[in-house]
Structure formats: structure tokens, C-alpha cells
């Protein structure tokens, strides 16, 4: 693996601290749940629903959360189940399978079910999801770009986390970390904001721009 590949791997999100949150409130909700500062699941709420525009890191965070929660509860693997809901597969078969799975004793503290793009479920599948969420020993972690398309019952059973675009200035420390990995230092905020602004809040685009700039300057200096 060459040095640039090592740098790319270094910045793949691995913990909840690796994300740039759009507000302190959103960050606190995630950290409080993971750290046990607030009880979860509790009072019929066993879902975490990450909502916001495309490219902000919702799916990546959703995949990390099961193990982050389980690490506080035990030394077991979370055994999370990840399902990406797609236009051609809107969830009927998936809901039947999840219903059966959650009737069994979980291998870890809970059954962790990750549903990416949950708004693409059919009305019938969404109704099934609402029913399955009533089962004990289940935690559902879901993402959506369209909160208005989610059944109110599912929303009511979930902790909502606004995962829209973070302010441009919040990306400055992360971009500087990436550039630093390439041996590049840029002190002028405006230079960095000039590569952050065109990305329109997309975490994918901002990280790509940062890696591209770092690699380019590194090669020019060689």
C-alpha cells in the first residue's frame, strides 16, 4: 500500500469522533446515547433516525453506531444487520426477515438493525417496521434524506438527529488534519474555505478536495 493509500485509510471514519457534526446539539445527542449519559433505548424509543441532505456522512455513522453502543454494554461484537433500501427492493421481504430475526435471543445486548434510506420502504413495509420496533431487545438505526416521508409512528419511536450540512468553518480542523498527513500546512482560513465552499456541505466532496490538494502540493514539492 503506497503512502497516499495509507493516508486515505487513516481518514475513513472509525469512531463517532471522526465526524463533522452540523451543530453541537446533534453531536451531543450521539455522544450522550453512546456514552450512556442518557438512557437508550427507553420509554418506547429504540430508534435513532439520522436525517439530512445527501453526502453528510449519515450512512457511515449509522454503520459505526451499533458497535459504539455495544462497546459500553459488553465486550461482544454488535452483530449488526445492515440493509440498504433500494427502489427495486422496497422492504417487504426484508421486514419479514427482520421480524423473524428479532424473535430470537440476540447474540449481543440487542438486535442492531441498520436501515439505510428508510424512506424508500413501501407503506406496508413501513407499517411492519413500526410494529417490529415494539419488540424488546431491538435497536434500529436509520437514515433518510426525506424526513417527511417517514411514518409518524416510526418517528415517534425514534430519537431524531439532524445530520444536515455542517457550517463551512466546522470543516477547517478536519481539512487541516488531512493536509497535515501530506506534510502540508495552510494557515490562511480563506484558502481552505475556497475549497470547502464549492462542496456544498458534502463530506465526500470536502474530503476528496482536501486529499487532492494535499497530494498535489506534496508532489509539487517533491
Per the CATH hierarchy, to which homologous superfamily does domain 23-162 belong?
P-loop containing nucleotide triphosphate hydrolases (3.40.50.300)
> What pLDDT, in 10s, does the model give residues 16-58?
999 999 999 999 999 999 999 999 999 999 999 999 999 999 9
Please state, in angstroms and rounded to a whole number, the distance separating the CA atoms of residues 163 and 145.
Answer: 9
> What pLDDT, in 10s, does the model give residues 169-190?
999 999 999 999 999 999 999 9
Cα distances (Å, whole numbers) of residue 25 to 40, 107, 166, 174: 17, 32, 12, 19
> What pLDDT, in 10s, does the model give residues 66-115?
999 999 999 999 999 999 998 876 688 999 999 999 999 999 999 999 99
Residue 8, C-alpha cell as written in the block: 486515505
The pLDDT value given to residue 61: 98
Closest CA to 110 of 77, 155, 150: 77
Is the alpha carbon torsion for 194, 175, 31, 49 positive or negative?
positive
More confident residue, 197 or 86: 197
Q: Which residue, chain included where needed, has cell 497530494? A: 215
Q: What does the domain layout of the chain look like in residue ranges?
A: 23-162, 167-221
Q: Would you tell me how many other CB atoms lie within 10 Å of the CB of residue 3?
A: 12
Amino acid at each position: 500500500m503506497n503512502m497516499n493509500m495509507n493516508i486515505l485509510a487513516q481518514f475513513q471514519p472509525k469512531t463517532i469522533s471522526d465526524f463533522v457534526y452540523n451543530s453541537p446539539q446533534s453531536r451531543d445527542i450521539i455522544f450522550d446515547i453512546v456514552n450512556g449519559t442518557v438512557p437508550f433505548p427507553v420509554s418506547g424509543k429504540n430508534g435513532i433516525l439520522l436525517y439530512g441532505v445527501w453526502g453528510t456522512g449519515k450512512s457511515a455513522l449509522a454503520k459505526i453506531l451499533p458497535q459504539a453502543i455495544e462497546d459500553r454494554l459488553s465486550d461482544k461484537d454488535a452483530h449488526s444487520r445492515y440493509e440498504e433500501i433500494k427502489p427495486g427492493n422496497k422492504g417487504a421481504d426484508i421486514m419479514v426477515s427482520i421480524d423473524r430475526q428479532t424473535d430470537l435471543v440476540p447474540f449481543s445486548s440487542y438486535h442492531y438493525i441498520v436501515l439505510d434510506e428508510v424512506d424508500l420502504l413501501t407503506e406496508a413495509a413501513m407499517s411492519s417496521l413500526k410494529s417490529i420496533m415494539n419488540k424488546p431487545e431491538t435497536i434500529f438505526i436509520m437514515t433518510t434524506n426525506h424526513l417527511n416521508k417517514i411514518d409518524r409512528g416510526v418517528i415517534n419511536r425514534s430519537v431524531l438527529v439532524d445530520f444536515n450540512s455542517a457550517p463551512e468553518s466546522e470543516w477547517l480542523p478536519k481539512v487541516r488534519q488531512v493536509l497535515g498527513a501530506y506534510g502540508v500546512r495552510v494557515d490562511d482560513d480563506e484558502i481552505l474555505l475556497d475549497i470547502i465552499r464549492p462542496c456544498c456541505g458534502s463530506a465526500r466532496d470536502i474530503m476528496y478536495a482536501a486529499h487532492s490538494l494535499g497530494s498535489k502540493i506534496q508532489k509539487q514539492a517533491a
